[in-house]
Structure 1
């Protein structure tokens, strides 16, 4: 199974080089690499637990990559200081909207409380989302999958949606992407614009903090209102 790690790295970097040449938001390296790797694992009879065990150090690098996003924040600190009130308000509303929408849609589709709790922190990074969901009685695996899907969708279609609504401000675009599609959306922002990446990094961090602080109070209220309706 020693071939799994080098194969994953080689596939990703090859797809990454192709993505630079193609320059299409739909040709996302993470998505395309996954599409390429799945048939290989199926053909070789490799189970997902075996694959994950052999490439786990890549997953372990995720927290460090999040910390590395602080560098663009440092360079943009003067601009951020001048807008800190607006930034806090925007990320707070974004955090609440994300949690409320996820839970309400889950209940509307007939999901139980466990599934709703799993979808509660869908727009923050995995490490925070899993902990928040577990504390509210959610299923960590469902939360992790939802976070990944939200991030991929944001990275693929976020900028197209922003362009459709003619939102041109780097601050607005970055805050929107970071608030809704966490690390994957932020990575996409950095590719598009350094300023967008900085604001997206800030939104990613702030929404993670706000979600972890407000979720224990917000979720019981939503569940209570749902039981009354």
Structure 2
């Protein structure tokens, strides 16, 4: 039962963000069509997120806003966009096909332009705010752990593994997980004295925490944890899956 729960949890973590991002891109795209159509006086009949059967909807003004069953796209239905439909004379001012060609062109182009604008704002925000990247400083190293027996101490900062410089915890994890039963030479900086120390430790086989991976086993050094974020990224249990 726990395996089933873990599978769906991992699947949600993997697939969930994809659909959230896709939904956001769809919304921004359709919002571009919608906003420019309203600006030029075109009556928008439907604003839909998704295709197929409507699972939620409400109407405000002339427009029905809805969420549909298939979340792989969206659409904006405008009055007068069917060339075979007859439009009364008094309604032509609200009809898409009765607008000047430059207005129709602007309405069609607004969707892709909104996506480009949104991407620019998003990446600019990421560049300004940045992203917190876990460092290579260790958290508490349990005295009875394999990591402590190898020579690691609480607060050590791992600077290199087998001569290759490491700057993030992900790089440390990757090298350890890919080195089952292979000795690794660590160069660490002591937290108390600032002195450099060399440590050799051999990762033992451990269960892969990623149940979606094709690799059943990965290397681990029990007791090796990430400073201040061990519960999230490192391993707080010496018998855990990976360090």
Q: Which has the higher contact order (CA 8 A, sep 6+)?
A: 1
TM-score (norm 1): 0.22
TM-score (norm 2): 0.21
Judging by fraction of residues, say which structure has more strand.
Answer: 2
